[in-house]
Structure 1
Amino acid sequence: MVMLPEGWDCKNINEIGIQVIDGDRGKNYPKDNEFQATGSCLFLSAKNVTKAGFDFSLGQFITSEKHKILNKGAVELGDIVITTRGSIGHFAYYNQKKYQTIRINSGMAILRSNVNYINPDFLYEVCRSQIIKTQIEKASFGSAQPQLTIAIIKKFRIPLPPLSEQKKIAAILSTWDRAIEGTEKLLANSQQQKKALMQQLLTGKKRLPGFSGKWLWKRSKEIFKSISIKNNPMDCELLSVTQDQGVVLRSLLERRVVMPDGSVQGYKLVNPGNFIISLRSFQGGLEYSYYRGLVSPAYTVLDNKIEIENDFYKFYFKSYNFIGHLAVATIGIRDGKQISYQDFSFIKLPYPPLPEQQAIAAVLTTADEEITAIESDLVRLRQEKKALMQQLLTGKRRVTVD
């Protein structure tokens, strides 16, 4: 812990009246067949406590009768829940009553503040700070499934400014939390709107102004052809294809790991504007390449046979409509993940007039740009709050208390 300013203290959790409450592990602990999809008492599991706090989208419940015979682990308003097994050190603050009763499972613990010594909002900010993260990393044990014990949690060191300063610090940081939460909601709404736009525009259900008439639908082999350009120079870049990042350039170090002798025998050339698909272990979607480089022989490289707007198909190959067609194509194939190029070549794809392809691609590109801008704002807000937490929670930056 860093040097604290005058008037501040640093104490263990158990020294400042914070109760650390374990989940009930006794003979009355709920069995698998006692959980219900609905009920009066929510029984928290690891899926309900994430890095971002509580996630109540999925829940399991126990009956009120079962709740009454359990001795420990009931969550009260103002409690903080921490995960103690597996994905340890996730905190969630129950500051808004959502359920009549809540209990924790045996992989969690409850921190219950003594409001005469520590403000619960302040404690929650400390719990999510690097101050506690560092202590968790040092104190946890178990490699396969990291764990924390109640005894370890009780020894966590907490910076303790005067109560009035705690409240002011918590109020300042909660303002940033609200800004972050608002930006997260804006991002989720923008992403949902883009999905809806894709579903409507890429299937012709919704037409942009100035366009009418029926679309052509062509087999993919009428629009694309498989190309295999080999015997390429060794100084070509090596490409990786992932669903999360798309097509990316591999580092020289990665290349040496993949091909220690530097050989690119059999590797296929990809040019900007080509699409890449792994038909041997297909997981859904085609990736568009902005780069020139080489891919493994396991990939199929596609080039267009007729004039198209590449960005239109870049979006279409990420749409639920296309992935649904692939799901049909993979029925009956081993593991449901492998298709041949022949299977793919018979899938029907939309082929609207080129100007309409370009207009649709422009609308969706604008939506992407808006999402990217919001994501950048979110990253900036999180970084700024993290820096402010480090200053406020250690006393490097003081606040004025009325």
Structure 2
Amino acid sequence: MPEVLPWPEVRLGDVCKVVRGSSPRPAGDPRYFGGDFIPWLTVAAITNVSPSQIVITETVGFLTEEGSRHSRHFQPGMVVIANSGWKCGVAKVLGFECCGNDGIAALESLTAADPLFLTYWINSQTERLRSQAAAGNEQPNLNTDRIAGLSLPLPVIAEQQAIAAALSDADGVVAGLERVIAKKRLIKQGAMQDLLTARRRLPGFSGDWEVKKLGELVTIIMGQSPSSTAYNSAGDGLPLIQGNADIKDRKAITRVFTRQVTKMGRAGDYLMTVRAPVGEIATTDMDVCLGRGVCALRTDQRIVYHIMVSKEPEWAKLSKGSTFDSVNGAEIRAFEVFFPADTAERNAVAQVLDDMDAEIQTLEARLAKARAVKEGMMQNLLTGRVRLV
């Protein structure tokens, strides 16, 4: 069996030329911007797409022909990197000709280097690049010299392409699951709009729906913040839920405990934020202390949870406050919802929506696993720890 040699270390600037985009000045000048001559690539076009999408296929803005003369042209297949802002260090491959602004770097004239391999490698270094860019700067910035000076282990081109193909396959799995989840969420949204307004009825149900005040349907426990002297991380007392920072994926999470329990939420309650952002709904599977930024909705009617999730956008109309938005107990009790009179219909509607949530959660678990698999592949394949030879 032939000996597998380690990869040589090279400077990124030795296998390409690192250039920076150029923005016409002044920004927004109609002589340069808002035309239809050539696409205008911004940092957002690179950083606001899924990490599983390596090739950029579109951007929003365009330049005029005159604007293109005051910018730098990028060609399809080039590696582009966000080199400024708090999301710097993200790399993509261009799928179209465009002009790029000065917050973007690009790799030109690649020699003995595969664009996809370099893109994956740069993305494996994003956090390190951001920490370097942020050192001593209010606005993180990766200049072209810093990018060109990056040292990377570089296998022969055939092995680079094999690695890039393997990681592209992993991205395909991730992207496929992301698309399915997005579709399922849209279906769930449509089902909520239909089933929670009686626009569509489940088979076998034809009873009345009524307008009810929320205070008629649930017991509302407004939060009250304990003294900060009672806070601890040793698990002494109850978890303190103060706002959306203590909520993840619609579930209460434990960050801080308090020995002073001012107002208590019970396992099984629904929690609602009452300070900006107002109206976000979560569940809790544990007893908690309710801080002033939340309230508990206590009921045995599961449909209330789904109704309140569907009503989240409406709370902005009720929120108030000069410093931050908030709602009080009276406003919450007076909040009106459409409610089925038939208990069996309530349970049936809630079950349909619960089943949809369960399906989405199963897909999200598969997505998390697929992302973890890809992360492990990057750590192994881009370092030569595992070889595809």
The answer to whether the superposition gives a TM-score over 0.5 is yes
Relative to structure 1, the CA distance from residue 378 to residue 273 in structure 2 (aligned partners, 3 Å threshold; closer, same or farther) is closer
1:105 aligns with 2:93: no
Which whole-Å CA distance do the structure 1 matches of 2:206 and 2:135 have between them? 65
Residues 1-38 of structure 1: CA deviation (Å, up to 9, x unaligned): xxx9527322111212x12111126xx43522336556
2:37 maps to which of 30, 37, 40: 40
Which whole-Å CA distance do the structure 1 matches of 2:20 and 2:28 have between them? 20
1:126 aligns with 2:126: no
Relative to structure 1, the CA distance from residue 342 to residue 77 in structure 2 (aligned partners, 3 Å threshold; closer, same or farther) is same
Report what 2:76 is aligned to. Answer: 77
Report what 1:167 is aligned to. Answer: 161
Relative to structure 1, the CA distance from residue 386 to residue 238 in structure 2 (aligned partners, 3 Å threshold; closer, same or farther) is closer
Residues 339-365 of structure 1: CA deviation (Å, up to 9, x unaligned): 332223222212212111111111111
Give the alignment of 1:273-312 within 5 angstroms.
Answer: 273-279=268-274, 281=276, 283-297=278-292, 299-304=294-299, 309-310=301-302, 312=303
Aligned residue type for 1:31:
A
Report what 1:340 is aligned to. Answer: 328
Task: Give RMSD over aligned pairs.
Answer: 3.0
2:345 maps to which of 350, 356, 379: 356
Which whole-Å CA distance do the structure 1 matches of 2:133 and 2:237 have between them? 47
Partners of 1:5 and 1:395 within 8 A in 2:
no
Aligned residue type for 1:214:
D
Deviation at 1:61, TM superposition (A): 2.2
Residues 180-214 of structure 1: CA deviation (Å, up to 9, x unaligned): 11111111111111111111111111211221233
Relative to structure 1, the CA distance from residue 54 to residue 197 in structure 2 (aligned partners, 3 Å threshold; closer, same or farther) is farther
Aligned residue type for 1:313:
V
* Secondary structure at the counterpart of residue 365 of structure 1: helix
Residues 291-326 of structure 1: CA deviation (Å, up to 9, x unaligned): 22321255443334xxx522x11111111xx23543
* Secondary structure at the counterpart of residue 377 of structure 2: helix
Aligned residue type for 1:89:
G
1:14 aligns with 2:9: no
Report what 2:233 is aligned to. Answer: none
Relative to structure 1, the CA distance from residue 166 to residue 268 in structure 2 (aligned partners, 3 Å threshold; closer, same or farther) is same
Which whole-Å CA distance do the structure 2 matches of 1:151 and 1:278 have between them? 47
* Secondary structure at the counterpart of residue 377 of structure 1: helix
Give the alignment of 1:222-371 within 5 angstroms.
Answer: 222-227=216-221, 236-243=237-244, 244-245=247-248, 246=250, 248-251=252-255, 254-255=256-257, 262-264=259-261, 267-279=262-274, 281=276, 283-297=278-292, 299-304=294-299, 309-310=301-302, 312-319=303-310, 322-330=311-319, 334=322, 337-352=325-340, 353-371=342-360
Structure 2: runs of 5 or more not aligned: 231-235
Give the alignment of 1:195-206 within 5 angstroms.
Answer: 195-206=189-200
Which whole-Å CA distance do the structure 1 matches of 2:170 and 2:293 have between them? 47
Partners of 2:112 and 2:157 within 8 A in 1:
yes
Partners of 2:80 and 2:91 within 8 A in 1:
yes
Aligned residue type for 1:369:
A
* Secondary structure at the counterpart of residue 176 of structure 1: helix
Structure 1: runs of 5 or more not aligned: none
Partners of 1:135 and 1:156 within 8 A in 2:
no
Which whole-Å CA distance do the structure 2 matches of 1:102 and 1:49 have between them? 13
Which whole-Å CA distance do the structure 2 matches of 1:127 and 1:61 have between them? 27
Which whole-Å CA distance do the structure 2 matches of 1:58 and 1:336 have between them? 34
Between the aligned residues of both structures, percent identity stands at 25
Partners of 1:273 and 1:290 within 8 A in 2:
yes
Deviation at 1:335, TM superposition (A): 6.6
Relative to structure 1, the CA distance from residue 382 to residue 42 in structure 2 (aligned partners, 3 Å threshold; closer, same or farther) is same
* Secondary structure at the counterpart of residue 76 of structure 2: coil
Partners of 2:211 and 2:337 within 8 A in 1:
yes
Which whole-Å CA distance do the structure 1 matches of 2:114 and 2:316 have between them? 53
2:148 maps to which of 144, 147, 154: 154
Which whole-Å CA distance do the structure 1 matches of 2:305 and 2:357 have between them? 12
Which whole-Å CA distance do the structure 1 matches of 2:209 and 2:363 have between them? 34
Relative to structure 1, the CA distance from residue 323 to residue 7 in structure 2 (aligned partners, 3 Å threshold; closer, same or farther) is closer
Which whole-Å CA distance do the structure 2 matches of 1:281 and 1:128 have between them? 34
* Secondary structure at the counterpart of residue 331 of structure 2: helix
Relative to structure 1, the CA distance from residue 334 to residue 58 in structure 2 (aligned partners, 3 Å threshold; closer, same or farther) is farther
Relative to structure 1, the CA distance from residue 83 to residue 299 in structure 2 (aligned partners, 3 Å threshold; closer, same or farther) is closer
Q: Normalization by structure 2: what TM-score?
A: 0.83
* Secondary structure at the counterpart of residue 173 of structure 1: helix
